[in-house]
Structure formats: structure tokens, C-alpha cells
Chains A and B, each alone.
Chain A
Amino acid sequence: MVERRPILTFFAHATLILGVVMVALPVYVTLIASTHDQARMLQAPVPLLPGDHFLENLVTVLITGLGASQAAPPVGMMLLNSLVMAVTIATGKIAISILSAYAIVYFRFPLRMTFFWMIFITLMLPVEVRILPTFKVVADLGMLNSYAGLTVPLIASATATFLFRQFFLTVPDELLEAARIDGAGPMRFFVDILLPLSRTSIAALFVIQFIYGWNQYLWPLVITTDESFYTIVMGIARMVNVVDAAARWNQVMLAALLAMVPPVIVVVVMQRQFVKGLVETEK
């Protein structure tokens, strides 16, 4: 800092601490709710101190699901579906976009710019705007209620291609010249030189796309009717809308907690890659 101003520094800390508390508040109340039994949740002010039913709730939610109403399948299965979806989307996006970026940057061929613009146009058009026609395509292809239907349509996106393109443009030309003098063909150059150089970009993208895939809501909502393909994020919302009658808030909030734990862990553990990926994909 340029000068010492203890009052301002104190004010800065106070603001930030207030922010951290505001950010944590709903999660704290959720965590507390998940440690009580159903009877306690029905008495007027909700408890603010932990109870001792956490493990019991955890077992119920993970394995048997939300009891008699059968509004949703066991949370364990939905978590697994979400994991499959997030990992497939993240790896799929990275794989297809690194290949197309490689072709667009390193090859001279007719239609190169056409292909580039075709991918470019998709940059900012989310699936929500064209939901019905996309749903129809997937239905016609017979991909409703399948992992392919959950993931493949979301794999097409321009952001990853752009990130790789920007990165490839910064790789020195001398590397390619040297590789060619040594007799390396295009695939050899890609596998032995470009891929190792792209490691940090790949890691950064993986974090961003994992969160994107995990947090999908509308897409799984419209294309799954079979409970065994429900993902956790859409499953939660379904439970909440049913729960008001059943009032199993302790279990629903535990499920909500479980839905946010994996992506939050990814962000906190891979914070450096996350920040890099976020700032670079949006450039």
C-alpha cells in the first residue's frame, strides 16, 4: 500500500469478514439442518446449533433416498450420474476442441476459415435458447434417458477451442521448424510437443468445464424421465418441490450439501488452475 491508514485497513478487513460471513451463512444453516431429525425441523425457530443425527441422515439419503414419497432416487446414484456427466463433458470438450484448434492453427487447407467461423458463432448461444429444437434432435436420435444424451449435445462449445487457439498462437514457430527438421509428422508433433506444452491450459479448462457439467440443470431436466439418469442438481430441486408436504427438510438440505461439495472441493483445491481457466476462457 502507498500509505498507512489503520482505519481504512480495519474497514477493509471488516468488510471482507462481513462478506465471508454472508457467503457462508446459508451453508451453515444448511449444515445444521442436516444434523437434526425431522421432528426438530418442524418446531418454529430452526436450530442454530448442531444436532446428532448427521450420520443417520447421511445413510438414509445416500442409500434409500427420500423415504416413502419416492420423489427421487437415492442420492448416491444421482451423485454418480452427476460425476459421469461432469467428467464426460469436461474430457470430451477438451479432446474435441484441442484437435480442432490444432487443425485450425497449424494446417493450411481450404474451408479453414469457414470452419473457424462456424465454431466461433456458437460461442455465446446457450442451450436454454434453443431448448425445444435441441430436445427434438436428441429425441429423434433416440438418446433420451442415456448418458450420451446427457453429455454429447453439451460437448459442442467454442470456448475451449478458443482457449487452445490463443495458446497455440503463442507457441514459438521454431518448435515446429525444429520438429520438422528432425522428421516429425503432424501427429508426432502434436503428441510429443504440443500436448505436453498445453498441460496447464488443459488443467485450467478441466476445472471450469467440470463445474459447468456438474451444475447443468435444464438439460437433464428435459431429457431424463427415467429416475436412474437423474443428476443431483436437478434431483434436489425436484425434492424441494415435493418436500413441502412431507417436510423432510433435514434430508433435503443434506442432499443439497452433497450436491455442492464436489465442485466446491474442485475449486478450492485447484484454485490456481480455476482462476487461470476462468480469466482465460472469458477473454
Chain B
Amino acid sequence: MIKRVAFDHAWLPYVLVAPQLAITIAFFFWPAGQALFQSVLIEDAFGLSSKFVWFENFERVFGDPNYLNAAGVTAVFASCVTVASLSIGLLFAVMADRVVRARHAYQTFLIWPYAVAPAVAGVLWGFLFNPTVGIISWILKQSGYNWNYLLDGDQAMFLIVLASVWNRVPYNFLFFLAGLQSIPKSLIEAAAIDGAGPGRRFWTIVFPLLSPTAFFLMVVTIIYTFFETFSVVHAVTGGGPGKATEILVFKVYSDSFRALDLGGSAAQSVVLMAIVVSLTVVQFRYIERRVHY
């Protein structure tokens, strides 16, 4: 935790941590505290007075069918993106680990979408699937399938899942590849000598050894789908059609800045914070357990 040899200085360490602490308090602790505080208050229509209402905001939020809808949409979205991007990332990593020639070139060509902003990824795929000018929707229409994600909720969901997966596969690919390369070759060779084929070796040796990586990536990807994909939704579908793609963080945004429902949006923020904190705790506990074996 600390060095065996350390400096003793009366004021220097405080000066050194001051900038980070000041910013953390001003833009993190203060707003988070405000959200907690607002979540138990209801303001009157003119914002002149507010009264303490215990958990009424939370009851209102959880009783709101729109909120439950958003929670369901988020669950579908998060699980689709997590499953798809993890399995595709793993597939590419296993294949890239197998080839000897041109591995580095493949890596370069597969990882760069990580650098593309989720919003831009959404715009690119939105263009391909645009009902009037998109090339893929044109092909779909030629083959008799009626594609219009601006009207069909399931198609809109498919589109944002596709854009997010495209954006997220490189990340999972890199971590799986690093995990694969840290597996001792002697294990694989021993299994091969015992007569296990590639498939058998993958499922009985490689896959179990990769499970910590997979678990870590799962948590990180869920957090990604909860928050960073706000921009995909905002840029491509705007939560529509109807409320078919309104994820939780999008609803916080629209309740805050459009509906101006302070108490309700603060309560939603608190719920989201609780979700992130518990995911983080789960992850840290798991990593701690992993250290012991």
C-alpha cells in the first residue's frame, strides 16, 4: 500500500492531492449528494418550495409503466449486446491466436472501431439501414422485406444492438487475445499428446482458464451498455419509435432536461448509481477471490 521508505512532509502531500480532490468534490461528491438529496424531495410547480417526502419519488418511479418499460428495454439491449459482443470477440480472438501469419495485421484491422465514438458508430450503421437512402434497407426491400426502423420498434432495437456490438467487439477481442496468450503452451501440448483435438482442448482447458477474463468483460460490457450507449440511442433512434429503444439512462436524460422532473430523475439517478456500485462490488469481490487460487 505504501512504500517502506516514505517521505514525511508537513504540507507537500496535501498540495499534491489538492487538485484531484477539489475536482472530485466539486464535480462528483457534491452532485452525487445533490441527487441523493433531491430524490427524497418534491418541488412545487414553480420551484419555490420543496418538501421532504421520504421514498415517494422512488415509489412513483417504480410504479411508472414507462420506467418499467425502460428497465425491460435496457435488460434486452444489455443482454443482446453482451452476449453478441463477447462471443464474437472470443471467436475472433481464438482464430487470431491460431494463425501465425498476419496475426498483427488482423489485430490492427479488427481493433480500430474501438476508437470510433459510439454516436458515430450509430450514425454509420444508421446510414446503411436508413429507410430512404440506406444500401442494406434497399437490398432488404428488393428481397421483399419491409425495413423501416423509424416505424418498427424491433428493427430499431436490432440497429442499436448492431452498432453497439460493432463498436464493442474490438475491446473484448483484445482482452480475450491477451488472455489466450497468457495460457501456458505446455498445457495445450500435454492435452494434444493425450489425444485431445482442437475442440476438446478449447472446451476443457482454454475456456475454463479464460473464464475470469470473460467475467470481467461481462461486467464491463454491461456497464458500457448501461451508460456509454446513451449516445447511440440518442443519435440513431431518439428512444423511439414510441418508447421501444428508451434505455434507463436515456430516460434519466429526457426526464431531467425535457420533462424537468427533478425528484423523479434524481431518484432514477440514485437507482442507476446503486446498480453501478453493486456491479463494481461484485467485480472486486470476484477479483479478490481469483487472487487466492
Contacts and interface: CB of A to CB of B under 8 A. Distances in A.
A129 B252 contact: yes
A100 B17 contact: yes
B108 A268 contact: yes
Contacts of A249: 127, 133
Contacts of A124: 223, 276-277, 279-280
Interface residues of A, number: 107
Interface string A231-253: 00110110011001001010011
B133 A41 contact: yes
Interface in B108-148: 108-128, 132-135, 138
A27 B115 CA distance: 13
Contact of B124 (A26, A176, A215, A218): A26
Given A99-B16, A131-B252, A259 B273 contact: no
B96 A16 contact: yes
A133 to B, nearest CB: 4
Interface in B1-57: 2-9, 12-14, 16-17, 19-21, 23-32, 34-35, 38
A263 B115 contact: yes
Given A12-B95, A217-B231, A236-B123, A103 B17 contact: yes
Contacts of B277: 124-125
19 contacts: A12-B95, A13-B99, A20-B106, A42-B133, A46-B134, A107-B12, A128-B249, A131-B253, A137-B26, A137-B30, A137-B34, A233-B119, A236-B119, A237-B231, A249-B127, A256-B127, A267-B112, A268-B108, A282-B175
Given A124-B277, A221-B234, A253-B127, 4 more contacts: A19-B110, A132-B262, A186-B7, A233-B117
Interface of B: 2-9, 12-14, 16-17, 19-21, 23-32, 34-35, 38, 88, 91-92, 95-96, 98-100, 106-128, 132-135, 138, 166, 169-171, 174-175, 178, 188-189, 192, 198, 216, 220, 223, 227-228, 230-231, 234-235, 238, 249, 252-253, 256-257, 262, 265-266, 269, 272-273, 276-277, 279-280
Interface of A: 1-3, 5, 8-9, 11-13, 15-16, 19-20, 22-27, 29-30, 33, 41-42, 44-46, 48, 95-97, 99-100, 102-109, 112, 115, 118-119, 122-126, 128-138, 141, 152-153, 155-156, 161, 168-169, 173, 176-177, 180, 186-187, 211, 214-215, 217-218, 221-222, 233-234, 236-237, 240-241, 244, 247, 249, 252-253, 256, 259-260, 263-264, 266-268, 271, 274-275, 278-279, 282
